[in-house]
Amino acid sequence: MKNFIRNVSYFLSQIPRWGLIIPILAAILFRYFMIENPQIIPEQKAEKEVEFHIAPTEQDMKVLEIINSLPRNSKVLILVNYGPESRYELETAMSALIVSLAEKNIGIAFATMIPNGIESAFMAVEKSIENGSFGKERFVYGHEYTHLGFIVGGSIASYLIANNFSEVRERDIFDGITDIRQPLMKGINEISDFSAVFEFSSQTFDGIPGLVSFAATLHEKEIPKIAFCSSDMLPAYIPFQNSYYFDGLVGGFRSLSVFIHEIHPSIKIERQYSTLSAILFYIIGLVVFANFVNLGKKDKR
């Protein structure tokens, strides 16, 4: 067996690297353009359905249950703590959540602890409205959703949101006084007036996840808290998964894909997931191939 592996690796080391990398890459691209995304070619307009095999885990089900149990006409707070670097991971999930909340007529107040989060929130709202299955004819700023703006200070900002929300909600992002111009914010005087708090995050504040510092300073106020984080933030969020800081965590592309698929099947994530899986297999293949080649070269020496 050992000799067989050595022979194979020696054989591979004789072939120029690009001679193998290019055909594998071509196979991936072929799969993407011809099989998974054939509408790129003008003659083939019909999209082929891509099956989604992943079943939701217990944690995923818990998050879905919390969202489904939110009362109609209530209000939720969404902390948007991601920028363009995680847009492709989190934006679709956030727009799926917005579509789902809008169907139940739940008002959404956005706030952000990073400057980039302002744009991210509006882009997700835009994406939700553009979605074909968006149930509402009108989705008006100030009535159905609002943005309380950039709250400065990292973990101090989360302390403010948790304990001094009346200060935070004074003005919105367009400098509008919330009481007068924001009917959505009527009756919201403190954080417990929201029926849930969500965080979409791609960064930590002073090494602590935003929702963790928020929950740690919340002082026994019962309010469901759900964190959505990008793949690179998973190591920071996972340790708190079973703690009282979160009631649910959706982290990483796999969980986000399952969440989108379950909460709003009309938003197609299957193709993206399938392509990403193919690319990851390609990378693993490259790593294995590179090691084989290196092994062969060592033998040669």
**Which residues here bind other proteins, judged by CB under 8 A?**
37, 39-40, 42, 85-89, 115, 118, 149-150, 152, 155-156, 159, 171, 175, 202, 206, 208, 212-213, 216-217, 230-235, 239-245, 252-253, 272, 275-276, 279-280, 283
CA separation for the pair 221, 251 (Å, rounded): 24
- Write down the least CB distance from residue 301 to other proteins, Å: 28
Shortest Å distance, C-beta 1 to other proteins? 27
Q: What is the CA radius of gyration of the chain?
A: 23
**Cβ distance to other proteins smaller for residue 15 or 152:** 152
Comparing CB distances to other proteins, the nearer of 187 and 207 is: 207
232 vs 262, which CB is nearer to other proteins? Answer: 232
Q: Are 64 and 259 in contact (CB under 8 A)?
A: yes
Give the Cα-Cα-Cα angle 31, 35, 37 (nearest 5 degrees).
95
Q: Which two tokens stand for residue 99?
A: 């579509």
Residue 112 · residue 78 · CB < 8 Å: no
Q: Residue 166 Cβ, how far from other proteins at the closest point, in Å?
A: 15
Whether 202 and 87 have beta carbons less than 8 Å apart is answered as: no
CA–CA distance, 122 with 270 (Å, rounded to integer)? 24
Q: Quick one: 10 or 150, whose CB is closer to other proteins?
A: 150
The nearer residue to other proteins, 95 or 202, going by C-beta atoms, is 202
CA distance 178 to 172: 6
